[in-house]
Chain A
Amino acid sequence: MMQRWVRDHRDAWYAAFQRDRHRTGQTATLVVLLGILLAIPGWLAHALLSIDEITPRATESSEVLVFLEETLELEDRMIMERRLGEHAQVTELIFVPRAQALSDLAQNDGLSSIRDLADDNPLPDVYLLRLVPGGASEAERDVVAQAMSQSGVLAVRYFPSIQARLADVIGVLGGVVIAMIILTAFGVSMAVFVVSGAEAFRDDRRLQLYTLLGASRRYIRRPYLYRATVQGALAGVLASLVVWGINTVLSQAFSTELRSLGVPNEALMVRWEVWIALCVVAIGCSWIGAERAIALRLNRMH
């Protein structure tokens, strides 16, 4: 029993490689096509993971500027100050009177003449809120919403930290990566399905012969599935190499900028999860595409 199992699989591998030997050009083209196709979501996934890696390292806080109406009474301002200061996300609340704002502004190069406007100061009083470093962007937006809902507020400006902006990017990029993975998986399966379908059509006589000799569908499909598995594995490795190559080129091109941002080298390395995911998706989709194509052909034959 065991001997038969080994022989059946050995024969299937032999048949798979025999076919590849005769169709090297077709196999190479398919592998390159699938490898490049898979590299797109692969690189996006790597970018996503790198951003995710960098995000917790940023220590900068987001800031919110709350511009107050000129008519706001002191008592109302104190109530507002208390409410905003009690928000869990707010770590620091600084009141900047309009006179000080004008004075600070005048200290900038070329703006000294603005002091002349002291009697007719156009700037409003401002609350500067510093938020908890590393806070979730939704929680930070809640602070903004609360500030805007206060009476006597002229306008609110939100300056998200790099961390908050990266968190937003991760949210969007995550969706894009998932969509791209689904689309690519479908594309890879379809490409293998079409190629395997054409191959099965060419091998019609062989399939008929094996059917007439009493071979099971599993026996007949095996060489095609093994071939697809090898093609998928090669495509996965190629995709990984493309991702690694692009990453190396970009890391070197922007090394100065990345160093100045304090991004460590290990945050930019392609993770093993990406390598494995690429190979698994490539092998799985190739296998499914080939299996469906051969099953369809055999169904038509019976």
Chain B
Amino acid sequence: MIQFESVSKSYDGTHRALDDVSFRLAPGEMAFLTGHSGAGKSTILRLLLGLEKASTGVVRVAGQDLSQLSGETLGRYRQRVGTVFQDPNLEMDLTVFDNVALPLRIAGFAEQDIAKRVNAALSRVDLNDRAMDKPHELSSGQQQRVGIARAIVHRPALLVADEPTGNLDPELSARVMRMFTQFQQLGVTVLVATHEQAVVESLPFRRIVIERGRLRADGSAR
């Protein structure tokens, strides 16, 4: 599903954010991308989301070389990827329902499909009863779950999460991670970038460790 082949990324030709990183993630696999702040995790995610282009090497997702995408093709690619952020980045003017429906509206789904899919996504994160609420009426944990529902509502084949538990207490973190595990069991490829060792060690998934832009370790949990 995801293929990094000798990928390097440097800014202004001097600072190397990534240096010759290679790894593969099979379809339906879940992995943690770990490392200290500034190690290069975010750069990997930005490359995966097509926000940056690799200086050298190739990034492929589902066999597609991302450096070849631009404009509309890049937009269509992003419509097939689910993204969860540390801050759910919700639209405060919109209801929970409309926030979750955003990716579907952007992708041009019909209103009937939107209603079905949004309700299904909200029930996955146990927020059906809050569909008409505004985000400011929810707790931070609930807001994060709305962000997750938005990331999975269009049933993406790839789910990318950037520090998804950064703002949550341990109990909520565990709940969010259980959700990711469920998505992986449904066949979604999940890549979770986190520096929280407790989260990583609580689950038996592969760990890709990045240090100073280089791949330091890549393997299963102990």
Contact call A214/B106, Cβ cutoff below 8 A: yes
Say yes or no: A214-B93 contact (C-beta < 8 A), given A4-B108, A302-B51: no
Q: Which residues of B contact A11 (CB under 8 A)?
A: 105
Say yes or no: A18-B89 contact (C-beta < 8 A), given A7-B105, A11-B105, A214-B103: no
**Chain B, Cβ-Cβ closest to A212:** B83
Q: How far is the CB of A178 from chain B (nearest CB, A)?
A: 39
Q: Which residues of B contact A219 (CB under 8 A)?
A: 106
Interface string of A170-199 (1 = CB under 8 A from B): 000000000000000000000000000000
Is the CB of A113 closer than 8 A to any CB of chain B?
no
Classify chain A: how many residues form its interface, as a range: 20 to 34
Contact call B103/A213, Cβ cutoff below 8 A: yes
**Chain A, Cβ-Cβ closest to B79:** A214
Q: Which residues of B contact A9 (CB under 8 A)?
A: none
B111-163 contacts to A (CB < 8 Å): 111
Contact call A213/B89, Cβ cutoff below 8 A: no
Contact call A206/B91, Cβ cutoff below 8 A: yes
Q: Which residues of A contact B72 (CB under 8 A)?
A: 216
Is the CB of B198 closer than 8 A to any CB of chain A?
no
Is the CB of A3 closer than 8 A to any CB of chain B?
yes
Q: How far is the CB of B43 from chain A (nearest CB, A)?
A: 15
Main secondary structure of the interface of B (DSSP, over half): helix
Q: Which residues of A contact B93 (CB under 8 A)?
A: 15, 18, 22
Docked CA distance A208–B78 (Å): 12
Interface string of B151-179 (1 = CB under 8 A from A): 00000000000000000000000000000
**Chain B, Cβ-Cβ closest to A208:** B89
Q: How far is the CB of A1 from chain B (nearest CB, A)?
A: 9
A1-58 contacts to B (CB < 8 Å): 3-4, 7-8, 11, 15, 18, 22
A203-221 contacts to B (CB < 8 Å): 205-206, 208-217, 219
Contact call B106/A215, Cβ cutoff below 8 A: yes
Contact call A213/B49, Cβ cutoff below 8 A: no
Docked CA distance A3–B105 (Å): 11
Best-buried of A11, A205, A208, A214 by chain B (most CB within 10 Å): A214
Contact call A214/B77, Cβ cutoff below 8 A: yes
Is the CB of B17 closer than 8 A to any CB of chain A?
no
Contact partner, B89, options A7, A205, A302, Cβ 8 Å: A205
**Chain A, Cβ-Cβ closest to B52:** A302
Docked CA distance A112–B80 (Å): 104
Q: How far is the CB of B27 from chain A (nearest CB, A)?
A: 20
Q: Which residues of A contact B71 (CB under 8 A)?
A: 216-217
B26-70 contacts to A (CB < 8 Å): 49, 51
Q: Which residues of A contact B77 (CB under 8 A)?
A: 214
Contact call A216/B75, Cβ cutoff below 8 A: yes
**Chain A, Cβ-Cβ closest to B78:** A214
Q: How far is the CB of B107 from chain A (nearest CB, A)?
A: 7
Q: How far is the CB of A8 from chain B (nearest CB, A)?
A: 8
Docked CA distance A211–B105 (Å): 13
Contact call A214/B51, Cβ cutoff below 8 A: no
Interface string of A261-272 (1 = CB under 8 A from B): 000000000000
Q: How far is the CB of A65 from chain B (nearest CB, A)?
A: 74
Is the CB of B110 closer than 8 A to any CB of chain A?
yes
Q: Which residues of B contact A213 (CB under 8 A)?
A: 78-79, 83, 102-103, 106
Q: How far is the CB of B6 from chain A (nearest CB, A)?
A: 24
Docked CA distance A212–B79 (Å): 8
Docked CA distance A15–B111 (Å): 18
Best-buried of B76, B106, B111 by chain A (most CB within 10 Å): B106
Q: How far is the CB of B39 from chain A (nearest CB, A)?
A: 22
Contact call B91/A215, Cβ cutoff below 8 A: no
Best-buried of A205, A215, A219 by chain B (most CB within 10 Å): A215
Can you add 6 more A-B contacts, CB < 8 Å, to A216-B71, A301-B51?
Answer: A7-B111, A8-B105, A206-B91, A209-B91, A212-B51, A213-B83
- Give me the interface of A with B, judged by CB distance under 8 Å: 3-4, 7-8, 11, 15, 18, 22, 205-206, 208-217, 219, 301-302
- Give me the interface of B with A, judged by CB distance under 8 Å: 49, 51, 71-72, 74-81, 83, 89, 91, 93, 102-103, 105-108, 110-111
The 3 lowest CB-CB distance pairs between A and B, nearest first, are A214-B79, A214-B78, A214-B75
21 cross-chain CB contacts under 8 A: A3-B111, A7-B105, A11-B105, A15-B93, A18-B93, A205-B89, A209-B89, A209-B91, A210-B106, A211-B51, A212-B83, A213-B103, A214-B74, A214-B75, A214-B78, A214-B80, A214-B81, A214-B103, A217-B71, A301-B51, A302-B51
